[in-house]
Amino acid sequence: MEHALVIGASGGIGRAVAADLARRGSAVTTLSRSRDGLDITDPASIRAAMDRLEGPFDLVFIATGILAPDGSAPEKSVAAIEAATMAEVMAVNAIGPALLMQAALPLLPRDRRAVLAVLSARVGSIGDNRIGGWHSYRASKAALNQIMRGTAIEMGRTHKQGVCVSLHPGTVATPFTADYAGRHKTVPPDQAARNLLDVLAELTPAQSGGFFDYSGAEVAW
């Protein structure tokens, strides 16, 4: 039986990923702020939560993230950037996942296929950015992708059958996107979870370090 760890399992996508993994027959362990008190902006909280876990996990899926801090919104222009807001978005979307990946690597098996996946977003693509705006969120996801890429390189040295990737789920109908989804086709969380897990099931170690969308297509850096 595959053992999976879903971090951020109280969010719309994380909850759906955990449920779909269970339906597929995996033994699922979850971590979240609401249930476990995990604060991914606090290194001590991350260490405490991850140290309590007993691996190995065949899949670690990191589904944490924010668009903007409570009471604020993604910037529409460079003029709207505020240092404290940007720092918080970077802490949640890039630094926190980096520390989670750091803690997850020792929990992955080295003698068989192991997958480390982080939830990113197409707007983190520099090449795909044609309209500007959303500077903190875009920058945080671009940073996350770079951290994932470096982690994948290291993982490839120690986990020969390992796969480490960033994933773009599409626009998912959750409270996370409720105020911004009007111009985009949305999918329900359960469908997004199925799509992402289907993509992960097909990826090979040769594709480790890549950025893929819900259909399995590569996303430009």
List of residues 6+ apart from 165 with CB closer than 8 A: 115, 116, 117, 118, 148, 152, 200, 203, 207, 208, 209, 210, 211, 212
* The pair of three-digit structure tokens given for residue 181, joined into one six-digit string: 């989804």
The reply to whether omega before 56 is within 30° of 0 (cis) is yes
Higher pLDDT, 23 or 184: 23
Give the DSSP H/E element, type plus range, for residue 186: strand 186-187
Supply the pTM of this predicted model. Answer: 0.94
Confidence category of residue 186, pLDDT binned at 50, 70, 90? confident
How does pLDDT run across 99-145, given as a tens digit for each residue?
999 999 999 999 999 999 999 999 999 999 999 999 999 999 999 99
Helices (H), the chain: 12-23, 33-36, 43-51, 83-90, 96-104, 135-158, 189-202
Cα–Cα distance, 204 to 111 (Å, whole number):
15
Write the DSSP assignment of 56-113 as a string of letters: --SEEEE----SS-TT----SSGGG--HHHHHHHHIIIIIHHHHHHHHHGGGS-SSS-
How does pLDDT run across 151-182, given as a tens digit for each residue?
999 999 999 999 999 999 999 887 665 565 55
Cα–Cα distance, 150 to 154 (Å, whole number):
6
Find out whether 164 and 98 touch, Cβ atoms under 8 Å: no
Q: How large is the angle between the packed helices 135-158 and 83-90, nearest 10 degrees?
A: 30
Q: What are the residue boundaries of the structural domains of the chain, listed by start?
A: 3-213
- pLDDT (0 to 100) of residue 1: 81
Report the phi/psi class of residue 124: left, alpha or beta, with left for phi > 0 and alpha for psi in -120 to 50: alpha
Q: Considering only the top CATH level, what class is 3-213?
A: alpha beta
Q: How large is the angle between the packed helices 96-104 and 43-51, nearest 10 degrees?
A: 30
| Coil, strand or helix at 190 | helix
